[in-house]
Structure 1
Amino acid sequence: MTKEQVLKKYFGYDTFRPLQSDIIDTILNRQDCLVLMPTGGGKSICFQVPAMVLEGITLVISPLIALMKDQVQALQANGIPAAFINSTLSANEQRTIETQCRTGELKLLYVSPEKLLTPNYLDFIKTLKISLIAIDESHCVSTWGHDFRPEYTQLYVLKEAFPDIPMVALTATADRVTRKDILKQLGVPDAKVFISSFDRPNLKLAVSPGRNRLKIIHQFIAQRPKDSGIIYCLSRKNTEEVAEGLRKLGIAAMHYHAGIDAKTRSEVQDAFIKDEIQVIVATIAFGMGIDKSNVRFVVHYSLPSNVESFYQEIGRAGRDGLPSDTLLFYSFADIVTRKDMIDKSELPPEMKEVQLAKLDRMKQYAETEICRRRVLLSYFNEEAQNDCGNCDVCQNPPVKFEATIFAQKALSAIARADEKVAMGLLIDILRGAQNRNVFEHNYHTLKTFGVGKELRYEEWADYITQMLNSGIIDIAYDERHSLKLNTLSWQVLKGERKVELVKFEPYEVKKARQEEAAPKEKSKKEVIKDALFDKLRILRKKIADELNLPPFVVFSDATLSDMAQKKPINKIQMLAVSGVGEQKFKQFGERFINEILDFARENTEPGKTRVVKGFTYVETLDLYNKGLAIEEIAQRRNLSPVTIISHLIKLKEEGNDINLKDLLPSYEYNQIIATAMRLNMQKGDALKPLFDELEGLYDYGKLRIALAMWEGN
Structure 2
Amino acid sequence: MGPASALLRDVFGFDDFRPGQGEIVDAVTAGENVLAIMPTGGGKSLCFQLPALVRPGVTVVVSPLIALMRDQVRGLREAGVAAGALTSGNTPEETDAVFDALHDGSLKLLYLAPERLASGGTQRMLAQAGVSLIAVDEAHCVSQWGHDFRPDYLRIGELRRTLGVPLAAFTATADAETQGEIVTRLFDGAQPQTFLRGFDRPNLHLAFQPKDSPRKQILAFAAARKGQSGIVYCGTRAKTESIAQALREDGHAALSYHGGMEPDARRHVEERFATEDELIVVATVAFGMGVDKPDIRWVAHADLPKSIEAYYQEIGRAGRDGAPAETLTLFGPDDIRLRRSQIDEGNAPPERRAADHGRLNALLGLAEAFECRRKTLLRYFGEEHGGNCGACDLCDSPPDTFDGTEAVRKALSAALRTGESFGSGHLIDILIGNETDKVRQRGHESLPTFGVGKDLSRSQWQAVFRQIMGRDLMRPDPERHGALWMTEGARPILRGEESVTLRRDTIDRAKASRPVARTLVSEEDAPLLSALKAKRRALAEAQRVPAYVIFPDRTLIEIAERRPRNLDEMAGISGIGAKKLERYGSEFLSVVASEAEAMHPTRRKLAGKSSGALYDRLLAAQAKLARGAHGTDKPLSCSASQLAKIAELRPSDVDTLERLLGERRAERFGAAFLEVLQEG
TM, length-normalised to structure 1: 0.68
State whether residues 114 and 151 of structure 1, in contact with CA within 8 Å, keep that contact through their aligned partners in structure 2: yes
TM-aligned CA distance change 1:348 to 1:128, over 3 Å:
same
State whether residues 206 and 392 of structure 1, in contact with CA within 8 Å, keep that contact through their aligned partners in structure 2: yes
Alignment of 1:470-509 (within 5 A): 504-506=500-502
TM-aligned CA distance change 1:216 to 1:576, over 3 Å:
same
Deviation at 1:148, TM superposition (A): 1.8
Q: Report the secondary structure of 1:295's partner residue.
A: coil
Deviation at 1:329, TM superposition (A): 0.2
Deviation at 1:537, TM superposition (A): 0.3
Distance 1:464 1:322 in 2: 32
Alignment of 1:80-159 (within 5 A): 80-91=81-92, 93-159=94-160
Distance 1:74 1:127 in 2: 27
State whether residues 174 and 380 of structure 1, in contact with CA within 8 Å, keep that contact through their aligned partners in structure 2: no
Q: Report whether the alignment pairs 1:171 with 2:171.
A: yes
Deviations 1:67-101 (A, max 9, x none): 10111111111111100011112455324312311
Residue 363 of structure 2 corresponds to which residue in structure 1?
A: 362
Deviation at 1:219, TM superposition (A): 2.0
State whether residues 234 and 303 of structure 2, in contact with CA within 8 Å, keep that contact through their aligned partners in structure 1: yes
**Which amino acid in structure 2 is aligned with residue 262 of structure 1?**
P
Distance 2:217 2:499 in 1: 29
Please point out which of 534, 542, 548 is paired with 1:546: 542
Residue 184 of structure 1 corresponds to which residue in structure 2?
A: 184
Please point out which of 484, 504, 509 is paired with 1:510: 504
State whether residues 528 and 595 of structure 2, in contact with CA within 8 Å, keep that contact through their aligned partners in structure 1: yes
**Which amino acid in structure 2 is aligned with residue 12 of structure 1?**
G
Q: Report whether the alignment pairs 1:228 with 2:241.
A: no
Deviation at 1:382, TM superposition (A): 1.8
Identity among equivalent pairs (%): 38
**Which amino acid in structure 2 is aligned with residue 526 of structure 1?**
V
Deviation at 1:512, TM superposition (A): 5.0
Distance 1:146 1:307 in 2: 13
Residue 268 of structure 2 corresponds to which residue in structure 1?
A: 267
Residue 337 of structure 2 corresponds to which residue in structure 1?
A: 336
Distance 1:519 1:335 in 2: 26
Deviation at 1:522, TM superposition (A): 5.6
Distance 2:528 2:187 in 1: 51
State whether residues 240 and 256 of structure 2, in contact with CA within 8 Å, keep that contact through their aligned partners in structure 1: yes
Distance 1:25 1:308 in 2: 28
Q: Report the secondary structure of 1:15's partner residue.
A: coil
State whether residues 12 and 581 of structure 1, in contact with CA within 8 Å, keep that contact through their aligned partners in structure 2: yes
**Which amino acid in structure 1 is aligned with residue 519 of structure 2?**
K
Distance 2:93 2:220 in 1: 50
Q: Report whether the alignment pairs 1:536 with 2:537.
A: no
**Which amino acid in structure 1 is aligned with residue 242 of structure 2?**
E
Q: Report whether the alignment pairs 1:573 with 2:593.
A: no
Deviation at 1:25, TM superposition (A): 1.2
Residue 524 of structure 1 corresponds to which residue in structure 2?
A: 519
TM-aligned CA distance change 1:534 to 1:91, over 3 Å:
closer
Residue 50 of structure 2 corresponds to which residue in structure 1?
A: 49
Residue 689 of structure 1 corresponds to which residue in structure 2?
A: none
Alignment of 1:111-510 (within 5 A): 111-163=112-164, 165-187=165-187, 189-275=190-276, 277-348=278-349, 350-398=351-399, 504-506=500-502, 510=504
Larger displacement relative to structure 2 (197-206 or 346-355): 346-355
Deviations 1:510-549 (A, max 9, x none): 3357999999646314348610000000000000000001
TM-aligned CA distance change 1:607 to 1:180, over 3 Å:
farther
State whether residues 306 and 359 of structure 1, in contact with CA within 8 Å, keep that contact through their aligned partners in structure 2: yes
TM-aligned CA distance change 1:586 to 1:362, over 3 Å:
same
Unaligned runs of 5+ in 2: 403-463, 473-487, 490-497, 618-680
Distance 1:377 1:54 in 2: 35
Deviations 1:350-402 (A, max 9, x none): 5444333322322222222232112221222222222222112222334799x
Residue 644 of structure 2 corresponds to which residue in structure 1?
A: none
Residue 21 of structure 1 corresponds to which residue in structure 2?
A: 22
Bigger radius of gyration among the two: 1
Deviation at 1:38, TM superposition (A): 0.8
Q: Report the secondary structure of 2:207's partner residue.
A: strand
TM-aligned CA distance change 1:343 to 1:91, over 3 Å:
farther
Q: Report the secondary structure of 2:134's partner residue.
A: strand
TM-aligned CA distance change 1:148 to 1:103, over 3 Å:
same
Distance 2:514 2:376 in 1: 18
Deviations 1:308-334 (A, max 9, x none): 111111011111111111000000101
Residue 562 of structure 1 corresponds to which residue in structure 2?
A: 558
Residue 10 of structure 1 corresponds to which residue in structure 2?
A: 11
TM, length-normalised to structure 2: 0.72
Deviation at 1:14, TM superposition (A): 0.5
State whether residues 29 and 52 of structure 2, in contact with CA within 8 Å, keep that contact through their aligned partners in structure 1: no
Q: Report the secondary structure of 2:226's partner residue.
A: coil
State whether residues 224 and 517 of structure 2, in contact with CA within 8 Å, keep that contact through their aligned partners in structure 1: no
Q: Report the secondary structure of 1:197's partner residue.
A: coil
State whether residues 34 and 169 of structure 2, in contact with CA within 8 Å, keep that contact through their aligned partners in structure 1: yes
Deviations 1:537-596 (A, max 9, x none): 000000000000100110010000000111112110110111111111111111111111
Residue 634 of structure 2 corresponds to which residue in structure 1?
A: none
Q: Report the secondary structure of 2:292's partner residue.
A: coil
Number of residue pairs the alignment of both structures matches: 522
State whether residues 336 and 470 of structure 2, in contact with CA within 8 Å, keep that contact through their aligned partners in structure 1: no
